């Protein structure tokens, strides 16, 4: 039987957490070429922002990686390390999707192919959900299709947001039609309605993950990034996504978030987005990019969206060199 038939569903990210899961990057990984030492302070700040509010579980490839993590984090209160190897740190995509049925928890283990086979090897990353399920003694469901956590966002009440650019890309599940993919999402996440956006932002190597575009902040409210500069490469595609959102009857309120403008390194445009925030117990981690006005504007907008949580801005300018930020790095385990 599928998780849906058994009564399981994926809660919204703002539902209470039992923990946050991370996969710590290895020094010889490909995510941060030539800049690994520069991203470590940001990772330490991220963990220290979470641990007063919930446990943080960190997958480490080996003793060297764990030693680096311990040194960087410093205050290890509420931090737990596990010898679960991965090649890269993007736990949102290779990690488990946790489901709930009352007080019971289960895990969905989608197949993972490093965003269409872009970054082999990825066998260890693909095995992370199974290893966490074994560690926690949780039921494991394996749909047998490729899917990444960053490609979808749920409101916990039957709605799921995703993008055609990612889920319908032939480098994921070329044998499946859109209706077939929708049925997998319903069967394994317990959702009812799939809401489709179009393209992702420029520089996003995931082929258009929704967590850089549009996020639920309440069951019927989303924030979505917009770029007013008509000369910017992101302007037209974000306007198209905004138009699609306005046609969705299930979404009552659309709140526009700015973009940080063009963020680049060594001539490469990076997928910097304020939508890549992470909702934890009592706090929201907001990536910022040293923009004189938009960093604060994004913080103020999200603070209004989450009045019972503190929105914490953390400089993600170095981290985005890896083409992801706080939401890409984290995976919530619901209480």
Q: What is the mean pLDDT of residues 242-267?
A: 97
| pLDDT at position 200 | 98
Strands (E), 96-213: 97-101, 104-108, 140-141, 153-154, 159-163, 193-197
| pLDDT at position 304 | 98
Q: Give the active site residue among 60, 91, 305, 328.
A: 328
Q: What angle do CA 238, 191, 279 make, to 5 degrees?
A: 60
| pLDDT at position 139 | 98
Q: What is the C-alpha separation between 211 and 207, in angstroms, rounded?
A: 12
| pLDDT at position 319 | 98
Catalytic annotation on 91? Answer: no
Mean pLDDT across the chain:
98
| pLDDT at position 197 | 98
- Contact of 205 with 218, CB cutoff 8 Å: no
Mind listing the domains of the chain with CATH numbers? 3-334 (3.75.10.10)
| pLDDT at position 247 | 98
The proportion of the chain whose per-residue pLDDT surpasses 70, expressed as a percent, equals 100
Query: What would the pLDDT profile of 122-176 be if each residue is shown by its tens digit?
Result: 999 999 999 999 999 999 999 999 999 999 999 999 999 999 999 999 999 999 9
Contacts of 334 (CB under 8 A, 6+ apart): 11, 15, 16, 17, 18, 98, 100, 105
164 by DSSP, 3-state: which?
helix
Q: Which long-range contacts (CB under 8 A, 24 or more apart) does 67-74 make?
A: 68/24, 68/27, 68/40, 69/24, 69/43, 72/40, 72/41, 72/43, 72/44, 73/43, 73/44, 73/47, 73/48, 74/44, 74/48
Contacts of 294 (CB under 8 A, 6+ apart): 258, 259, 260, 261, 274
H-only helix segments in 96-173: 114-117, 123-136, 164-167
In which band, very low, low, confident or very high, does the pLDDT at 209 lie, cut at 50, 70 and 90? Answer: very high
Q: What is the mean pLDDT of residues 24-52?
A: 97
Rg (CA), the chain: 18
């Amino acid at each position: 039987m599928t998780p849906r038939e058994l009564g399981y569903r994926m809660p919204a990210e703002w539902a209470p957490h039992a923990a946050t899961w991370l996969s710590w990057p290895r020094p010889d990984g490909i995510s941060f070429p030539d800049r690994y030492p520069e991203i470590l302070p940001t990772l330490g700040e991220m963990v220290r922002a979470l641990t007063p509010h919930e446990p943080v579980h960190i997958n480490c490839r080996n003793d060297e990686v764990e030693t680096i993590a311990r040194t960087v984090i410093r205050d290890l209160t509420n931090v737990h390390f596990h010898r679960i190897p991965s090649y890269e740190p993007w736990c949102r995509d290779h990690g488990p999707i946790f489901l709930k049925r009352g007080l019971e928890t289960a895990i969905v283990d989608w197949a993972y192919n490093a965003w269409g086979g872009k970054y082999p090897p990825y066998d260890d990353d693909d095995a992370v959900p199974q290893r966490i399920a074994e560690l926690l003694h949780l039921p494991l469901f394996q749909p047998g299709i490729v899917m990444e956590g960053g490609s979808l966002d749920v409101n916990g009440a039957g709605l799921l947001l995703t993008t055609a650019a990612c889920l319908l890309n032939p480098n994921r599940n070329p044998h499946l039609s859109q209706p077939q993919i929708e049925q997998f999402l319903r069967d394994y996440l317990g959702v009812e309605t799939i809401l489709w956006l179009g393209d992702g932002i420029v520089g996003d190597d995931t082929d258009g993950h929704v967590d850089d575009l549009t996020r639920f902040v309440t069951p019927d409210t989303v924030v979505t990034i917009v770029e007013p500069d008509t000369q910017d490469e992101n302007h037209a595609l974000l306007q198209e996504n905004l138009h699609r959102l306005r046609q969705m009857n299930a979404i009552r309120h659309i709140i526009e978030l700015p973009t940080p403008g063009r963020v680049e390194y060594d001539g490469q445009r990076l997928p910097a987005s304020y939508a890549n925030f992470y909702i934890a117990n009592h706090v929201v981690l907001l990536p910022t990019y040293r923009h004189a006005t938009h960093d604060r504007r994004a913080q103020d907008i999200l603070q209004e969206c989450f009045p019972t949580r503190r929105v914490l801005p953390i400089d993600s300018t170095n981290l985005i060199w890896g083409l992801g930020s706080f939401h890409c790095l984290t995976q919530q385990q619901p209480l």
